[in-house]
């Protein structure tokens, strides 16, 4: 199979969809790998490193897409890339379609087979291709929050770390999955007073067993009480492939501490704060009432070297299966990968995407039986 890796074009996105190790593995299986010139530079990977493992370096973005049978990306195609989509193309990347109707429409119109990293799901309900970037985003969230809490960044002027005789920053983490656990661990490590909320008591119990944080069963009242006390709120709630529930309302924000900060890790799926809207690394925050919102949709892009290697470690086994067997046969053999199919041949396949837009979906079993 001919596998292509274009340069990411989203604002300040420096990750790349494959490492030289990944190239070597695919070439070893007899596949051709095309890498757009400079695609790995932001992740400290040179064209020469790719070429040394057997990749063909292609100068033109158009040529990379045109020659591809399978395109690997990190982030979803943006509007300027829609023209590259076509019926005989398989796309494997983060898609987050439930929060992106224009891309969903473009994929349907083109007939592209679109497989989303974030909805590949194992029998235990874990999300193996989302976990590495959730880990990165969770670690980053307290760092970003800590900076924007400084007065120079228009925040409250509160230090995250512990200072003798002074009350530390209060951090509230909504959600106790991978990102939430990492965020809580990082914030607690900085010396903050951390409270984690979730509806899953087993997850909360696990966190409380190895971390010095307060845990609370999540409810509307509890969320409200904790948010109003917080210096920093980190939202990490996730419903795989579906629109994220909005847990923090505008009315709550009007009563928050002046200069408080809200970091929405779930913004790719629409965000878990009512006032959330996507921002970029170039312009990451905006003010609502007297609080700052940080809603960067590609947070792990801030640390691309780490993120690129972590991502490839997880995606590569699935990429090899798709390349060796074709997407249909690979999915017939692996139900976890089959859950990654979001759009195919103009049909919406993933239920959460269809639900987000109020339309019918075609069951994946029906698509695989075609």
Token pair of 177, please?
A: 């999955």
Q: Which of 100, 198, 268, 275 is catalytic?
A: 268
Structural contact between residues 186 and 138, judged by C-beta atoms closer than 8 angstroms: yes
Q: Who contacts 212 (Cβ-Cβ below 8 Å, separation ≥6)?
A: 188
Distance between CA atoms of 283 and 130, rounded to whole angstroms?
A: 25
SS (H, E, C) 181-236: HHHHHHHHHCCCEEEEEECCHHHHHHHHHHCCCEEEECCHHHHHHHHHHCCEEEEC
Instruction: To the nearest 10°, report the CA torsion of 142, 143, 145, 151.
Output: 140
| Angle at alpha carbon of residue 107, lines to 104 and 112, rounded to 5° | 145
Q: Who contacts 105 (Cβ-Cβ below 8 Å, separation ≥6)?
A: none
Rg (alpha carbons) of the chain, rounded to whole number: 21
Told to judge if 11 belongs to the known catalytic residues of this protein, a careful annotator would answer no
Q: Give the pairing of strands 113-116 and 341-344.
A: antiparallel
C-alpha distances in Å from residue 184, one per residue of 166, 179, 230, 363: 20, 9, 14, 37
Q: Who contacts 172 (Cβ-Cβ below 8 Å, separation ≥6)?
A: 194, 195, 197, 226, 227, 229, 230, 232, 233, 234
Q: Which helix (H) or strand (E) holds 307?
A: helix 304-325
Token pair of 126, please?
A: 């874990």
Token pair of 189, please?
A: 């490590």
Q: Who contacts 265 (Cβ-Cβ below 8 Å, separation ≥6)?
A: 134, 137, 138, 141, 179, 183, 234, 235, 236, 299
Q: Which of 96, 100, 198, 264 is catalytic?
A: 96
Q: Which of 313, 280, 302, 53 is nearest to 45 (CA)?
A: 53
- Let me know how many helices (H) and strands (E) the chain has, helices first: 14, 15
Structural contact between residues 240 and 266, judged by C-beta atoms closer than 8 angstroms: no
Told to judge if 250 belongs to the known catalytic residues of this protein, a careful annotator would answer no
Provide the annotated active-site residues: 96, 268
């Amino acid at each position: 199979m001919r596998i292509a890796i274009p340069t990411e074009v989203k604002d300040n996105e420096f990750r790349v969809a494959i490492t030289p190790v990944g190239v070597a593995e695919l070439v070893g299986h007899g596949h051709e790998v095309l890498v757009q010139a400079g695609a790995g530079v932001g992740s400290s990977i040179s064209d020469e490193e790719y070429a040394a493992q057997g990749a063909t370096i292609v100068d033109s973005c158009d040529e990379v897409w045109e020659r591809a049978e399978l395109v690997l990306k990190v982030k979803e195609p943006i509007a300027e890339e829609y023209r590259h989509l076509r019926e005989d193309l398989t796309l494997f990347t983060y898609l987050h379609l439930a929060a992106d109707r224009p891309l969903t429409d473009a994929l349907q119109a083109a007939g592209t087979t679109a497989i989303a990293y974030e909805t590949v799901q194992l029998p235990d309900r874990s999300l193996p291709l989302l976990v590495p970037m959730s880990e990165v985003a969770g670690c980053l969230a307290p760092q970003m929050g800590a900076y924007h809490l400084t007065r120079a960044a228009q925040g409250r002027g509160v230090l995250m770390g512990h200072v003798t005789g002074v009350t530390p920053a209060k951090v509230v983490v909504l959600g106790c999955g991978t990102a939430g656990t990492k965020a809580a661990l990082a914030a607690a490590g900085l010396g903050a007073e951390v409270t984690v909320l979730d509806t899953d008591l087993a997850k909360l119990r696990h966190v409380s067993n190895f971390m010095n944080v307060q845990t609370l069963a999540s409810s509307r009242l509890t969320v409200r009480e904790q948010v109003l006390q917080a210096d920093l709120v980190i939202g990490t709630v996730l419903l795989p492939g579906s629109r994220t529930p909005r847990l923090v309302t505008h009315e709550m924000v009007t009563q928050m501490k002046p200069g408080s900060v809200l970091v929405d890790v779930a913004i790719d799926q629409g965000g878990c704060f009512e006032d959330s809207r996507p921002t970029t690394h170039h312009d990451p925050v905006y003010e609502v009432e007297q609080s700052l919102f940080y809603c960067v949709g590609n947070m792990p892009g801030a640390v691309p070297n780490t993120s690129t290697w972590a991502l490839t470690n997880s995606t590569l086994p699935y990429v090899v299966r798709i390349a060796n067997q074709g997407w249909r046969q690979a999915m017939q053999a692996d139900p976890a990968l089959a859950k990654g199919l979001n759009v195919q041949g103009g049909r919406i396949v993933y239920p959460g995407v269809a639900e987000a837009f109020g339309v019918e979906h075609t069951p994946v079993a029906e698509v695989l039986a075609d």
